[in-house]
Amino acid sequence: MKIIEAAAARLSLCALLLVTPTGPGFALNTELPDLGNSAGNLMTPKRERDLGKAFMRSVRRSEKVMDDPLLTDYIQSLGQRLIKDSPAHGTPFTFFVVDDPQINAFAGPGGYIGVFSGLILTTETESELAAVLAHEIAHVTQQHLLRAWESTGQMSIPSAAVLLAAIVLGVAIGGDAAAAAAVGGQAALIQQQINFTRGNEQEADRVGIDILAQSGYEPRAMPSFFERMGKANRVYASKLPEFLMTHPVTSSRTADAMGRAEQYPYRQTPEFLRYHLARMALTQRQNDRPEEAIRDLGQMLEDGRFRNETAVRYGMALAQIRANRLADAGATLDRLLGIHPEVVEFIVSRARVEALQGDNAGALRRLETAIAEHPESYALNVTYAESALAMGEPARSAAKLQRFLDFRSEEPRVYQLLSRAAGDQGKQALGHEYLSEYYYLIGDLEGAILQLEIALKKPGMNFYDSSRLESRLADLKSEQDDEKKKGSAKP
């Protein structure tokens, strides 16, 4: 597992940066050739969904998947915007951010698409960030990945998921990926995935540019990103970052991508505020000196040195909260809300200030109003649940979170909060059941089993609930046995 985790420490941008040049005449043609792929017949939709969920658990176990509700909200909203008017509409996708400075992104089974925080900070426009996601979406919609998964058809879901995580997360790093493959006895499968990815990049780029244009983004953002990567290649010279050494950006690749994008008319893409707010939030997370941040941001405002003034003021509010200057933070956020009353980042941050000042009732009223407009917002629902718990109203917290599960049922933090709410209501068995699901989603199978065993020992459980938990426990133990067998089979 240590070797697999090492492989998983570097996510691949190969999906975007291993383009094979083709002529610009292919720009609007999204019909792909028949690749002779039998995987579609072998990989049932249910198996792909189950494999995707297991893959995500493996990613959470080895990577720092960000739990920041606002950043999670943002990347989900960006991904859904790309899907809405594209051929991907109707296909389930889950977008998430990995807390890592590397410039990478990846797609896994079941439409799970991750992007590194370093990539978000490296892009200069939301269209550039959207270009990366659109490329990964294209890999999923065109079923490029299924061929690489075909060899896992005879493996159990947990074993296949761990192996695929090593493949997808380590594909660009050669030695570590090979080491991970050796552990699983699947070196040929690793090499097949590498070759497959390189062979299908041009289709994913072409479809990705189409998705960008159909979603209202500037399709030239993809060659723009290539060009900046090429400049970085020249600037770094002998001290290239690893991803640039393994994924060189050439002038021909940039020209080819531009040729495809030029098939679309140029459009003036508007500034997307949430993109700038997300970048500011990531920047502030890296600064552990809030008072220094307040001075620097204040100087930026005074000098007019900023790309987006609203984002700088938002960064000021975040720094003021961290410095416990709550009155100042409240005033800053009130000013922002006066101009942008609908922006989730400002609503949530203002509610947090109210909660920190002891006004949980005010925070709940603010959040309740916003949730009526945005019932699917992870950030609004989680912040509401936390405020309700702090106010001593666990039933209100649980009710809101239960409704949110209809939108997204795989967020670990939701189950963690549901566990607290159940415990505060004296529902001990239910609390342990929710906590079991939390541990399961973050990849801690042993912890998930332990929590179910504790739940089953609680008195007063009816026959239906007892049978349901015993069935779930049996499934988890079967999965644990499979992992042990896999481990004992390692050379």
Active site positions, annotated: 136, 205
**Contact call for residues 132 and 11 (beta carbons, < 8 A):** no
Residue that has been written with the tokens 């060009």 in this structure: 227
- Name the DSSP class of 36: -
**Contact call for residues 361 and 381 (beta carbons, < 8 A):** no
Crossing angle of helices 69-84 and 378-390, rounded to 10° = 150
CA distance 189 to 332: 54
Q: Give how far Cα 12 sits from Cα of 16, 95, 178, 240, 398, Å.
A: 9, 16, 15, 16, 38
**Contact call for residues 103 and 128 (beta carbons, < 8 A):** no
CA distance 436 to 125: 40
Q: Give how far Cα 180 sits from Cα of 13, 55, 184, 442, 486, Å.
A: 19, 15, 7, 21, 13
Q: Give how far Cα 24 sits from Cα of 27, 205, 261, 388, 434, Å.
A: 6, 12, 8, 56, 53
Q: Give how far Cα 228 sits from Cα of 15, 267, 272, Å.
A: 17, 20, 21
CA distance 134 to 123: 14
Q: How many CB atoms lie within 10 A of CB 267?
A: 13
359: tokens are 């006004």
CA distance 2 to 341: 47
Q: Tell me the pairing of strands 112-116 and 105-108.
A: antiparallel
CA distance 429 to 421: 12
**Contact call for residues 130 and 145 (beta carbons, < 8 A):** no
